[in-house]
Chain A
Amino acid sequence: MPSHRTPARLLDRLTSLELIVVTGKGGVGKTSLSAALGNLLTAAGRTVLLLETDPRESLHRLLDVPPSGGEIVDAGRRLFLQNLQPRTVLDDLVEERLKVGLLTRRVLASPVYQHFAEGAPGLKEAAILGRALRIVEGHGPRRLRKVDTVILDAPATGHGVTLLQAPLLVAEVIDSGPVHRMARDISAFLSDARRSGIVIATLAEEMPVNETLQLVELLDARLARRPEAIVVNGLYPPVTGTGPEAATDDPALALWRERRCINDEQLGRLRDAWTGPLAELPLLPIDPGPALAGALARHLGEGLGATAAPEDP
């Protein structure tokens, strides 16, 4: 089956989205992919907010800015960064709804609220997605009024689908009232392919590929959505098989060949099961920082068709 979209069209599409959720298993390079996507979209003229929810911040290092600590950080060139804890977003929401200071404090301090906020299925996840929706609709903090796209570096905990399904779950459990309407709106936003999209980060190794294929299936089954792209991170350089390296038994070289072989095998599995856009990013000898984010953005751009490869005249 042919790919549904050509690469150049894919980049156009990503550029037109209001929310991109970058998801994947822990340790597969979601954060560096988020930063690279941020670079790519700002280069295409969008104003972008990178939203991180992991309390142990790491996105700032890729942008060479101080950690956010909950504040909005201007990373220059139309790129913003914010680390937001789901609980904070939820507390803000209560404050906004109740409006009365004393009442708000009492609600926030009550054990019932504490446990409800921590435990109610999907509530925290829905709150984060809700925040993203408000920002792109221009109702966020003043400094973020001009943001065109929010890139959400999804939490590594749990399955990507748990996050994306959260608003549906909330809308189902709370079946009327403003909370229900809010959850329903977020849910509609997430199912609207013109407004939001999902990018899956993975490695070409067995477990990450298993989880990726599972996620694709679940997204289809539960949300009727297809990811915009699967991005394979950290690929070892291809082995030509004809050079002098083929003969050496140096352990590092042997390992490279074997690892690349696993990469190829797993890329094959992905391609057999996934006919949509697939971008490959190399393992690069660069420490995490702006240089890495920039280099990955260039590779990603090529993979997604940003810089036109030399074409036939």
Chain B
Amino acid sequence: MSTAGRRLVIVVGSGGVGKTTIAAAMGVGSALRGEDTLVMTFDPSLRLRDALGVAPGGEADEVEVALEAPGRLQAGLLDARRTFDALVHRHAPDPASRDRILANRFYDHLAGSLAGVLEYMAVERLYEASREAPDRRIVLDTPPTRQALDFLGAPERIVAFLDSGALKIALKPWFDTDGHLRPTARLGALGRSAEAFLDRMVGLDLLRDMAEFFQAFGPLFDGFRERALEVRELLRSPDTVFVLVSGPGPERVADTLFFARKLAEEGYHLGPVVVNRLHPEPGPHAQAPPEVLRLLSWLGERDRRGAEELRGLLAGSHPLATIPLLPGEPADLEGLRDVAGLLREQGVE
């Protein structure tokens, strides 16, 4: 299964294996083959940022990449906070409730650090981008996390949260106009001591802020749920293919197989596996101090062994491409074009 013809290409893998570079190279390759393409990345290096022409905090969501190719290449940076803010702007029923959400201190902490929000916002942005220009191909780089699969589960988690009843409880009118806990008022003296207990444990201010946050968010949740379900659908669509990037060496084989199995189990379509940054083995006539030769031979052999082992285990079920360790991480369009060429030669595109 190659990635050719797929509308969505999602690049996954552990942290530090070079996902962003591979995603950028695949975008370049796709435009070179004549397809209009958008590359969405998280955390590109400064030089890669320059090459693609994207800047953090820039005005536009997407920029044109100065690549001479039959297809148009665009690039965008994924920014969770910005996507979340945009979502609030779009779904809030009126300016007053919008401002109430944006000013809530819970939102402030939540937007950046709530588990799954960053991941969810990435898939949300992906959904949006795929709707904006249906003919365009999208290559998505995924968040730099060791649990690379976390982000894929984000729509499910949001739906589970919305369906769990936690929200219904949270949306109840917990506080009366005097700022006292409603359910405890009916309990008389016992209620007052319950309230005092809660106040002692976590503070009523916190509970008040939380309740206000959920109430302000209430009208948004319906739209959220629907979209989360659509995003879930999109990720499993036959038009979407996953590319799994792995580091070199036998140590990484287990990790890579784990991801491959997980993806299949969850119903995603895994395409090619790319083993990145393999050390070349020194030739028989290489001359260097013995300890250097010993290290280089060891690295080269280790990486070759890892790729062979993985190839054997995948047993032809997915194309496997290897990308050699390059002198520097490819960070200009020419370097990306070379990597794209290597991927194409090995049947990834």
A-B contact pairs, 25 of them (CB 8 A): A27-B16, A28-B16, A111-B164, A115-B161, A115-B166, A119-B116, A169-B113, A173-B105, A173-B206, A176-B199, A176-B200, A177-B202, A180-B202, A205-B329, A207-B43, A210-B45, A210-B46, A236-B295, A243-B287, A243-B289, A244-B288, A253-B287, A258-B328, A287-B251, A288-B251
A-facing mask of B295-307, CB < 8 A → 1, else 0? 1101110000000
A217 to chain B, nearest CB (A): 16
- Does B294 reach chain A (CB closer than 8 Å)? yes
Interface size, B (range)? 35 or more
Identify which of A26, A207, A252 contacts B146 (C-beta below 8 A): A26
A110 to chain B, nearest CB (A): 8
- Does B201 reach chain A (CB closer than 8 Å)? yes
A77–B292 Cα gap in the complex (Å)? 34
- Does A256 reach chain B (CB closer than 8 Å)? yes
Q: Which of B112, B201, B247 gathers the greatest number of chain A CB atoms within 10 Å? A: B201
Q: Known A-B contacts: A206-B45, A250-B283. Give 14 more (CB < 8 A).
A: A28-B16, A54-B146, A118-B116, A157-B15, A177-B200, A177-B202, A205-B329, A248-B285, A250-B282, A252-B300, A253-B288, A254-B327, A255-B325, A285-B298
- Does B114 reach chain A (CB closer than 8 Å)? yes
- Does A291 reach chain B (CB closer than 8 Å)? no
Question: Using Cβ atoms and an 8 Å threshold, which residues of chain B touch A112?
Answer: 166, 169-170
Q: Which of A111, A258, A262, A288 gathers the greatest number of chain B CB atoms within 10 Å? A: A111
- Does B60 reach chain A (CB closer than 8 Å)? no
Binding site for B on A (CB under 8 A): 25-28, 54-56, 111-112, 114-115, 118-119, 121-122, 155-157, 162, 169, 173-180, 205-207, 210, 236-237, 240, 243-245, 248, 250-256, 258-259, 262, 283-285, 287-288
From known contacts A176-B200, A250-B286, A252-B280, infer whether A157 and B146 are also in contact, taking CB-CB under 8 Å: yes
Question: Using Cβ atoms and an 8 Å threshold, which residues of chain B touch A26?
Answer: 14-16, 144-146
Chain B residue at minimal CB-CB distance from A283? B295
Question: Using Cβ atoms and an 8 Å threshold, which residues of chain A touch B93?
Answer: none
Identify which of A119, A169, A206 contacts B114 (C-beta below 8 A): A119
The reply to whether B296 and A253 contact each other, CB–CB distance below 8 Å, is yes
Which 3 A-B residue pairs are closest in the complex by CB-CB distance? A27-B16, A26-B15, A285-B298
- Does B59 reach chain A (CB closer than 8 Å)? no
- Does B317 reach chain A (CB closer than 8 Å)? no
A112–B43 Cα gap in the complex (Å)? 33
A126 to chain B, nearest CB (A): 12
Question: Using Cβ atoms and an 8 Å threshold, which residues of chain B touch A210?
Answer: 45-46
Identify which of B166, B202, B291 contacts A114 (C-beta below 8 A): B166
The reply to whether B45 and A207 contact each other, CB–CB distance below 8 Å, is yes
The reply to whether B164 and A25 contact each other, CB–CB distance below 8 Å, is no
Question: Using Cβ atoms and an 8 Å threshold, which residues of chain B touch A28?
Answer: 16
Question: Using Cβ atoms and an 8 Å threshold, which residues of chain B touch A283?
Answer: 295, 299
The reply to whether B46 and A114 contact each other, CB–CB distance below 8 Å, is no
Identify which of A55, A179, A259 contacts B327 (C-beta below 8 A): A259
- Does B47 reach chain A (CB closer than 8 Å)? yes
Identify which of B114, B145, B328 contacts A156 (C-beta below 8 A): B145
- Does B61 reach chain A (CB closer than 8 Å)? no
A169–B328 Cα gap in the complex (Å)? 39
Question: Using Cβ atoms and an 8 Å threshold, which residues of chain B touch A205?
Answer: 329
From known contacts A26-B16, A245-B292, A259-B327, infer whether A115 and B164 are also in contact, taking CB-CB under 8 Å: yes
A28–B17 Cα gap in the complex (Å)? 10
From known contacts A25-B16, A111-B164, A162-B113, infer whether A252 and B283 are also in contact, taking CB-CB under 8 Å: yes
Question: Using Cβ atoms and an 8 Å threshold, which residues of chain B touch A121?
Answer: 109-110, 112-114
Identify which of B116, B170, B288 contacts A245 (C-beta below 8 A): B288
- Does B203 reach chain A (CB closer than 8 Å)? yes
Question: Using Cβ atoms and an 8 Å threshold, which residues of chain A touch B161?
Answer: 115
Question: Using Cβ atoms and an 8 Å threshold, which residues of chain A touch B287?
Answer: 243-245, 248, 250, 253
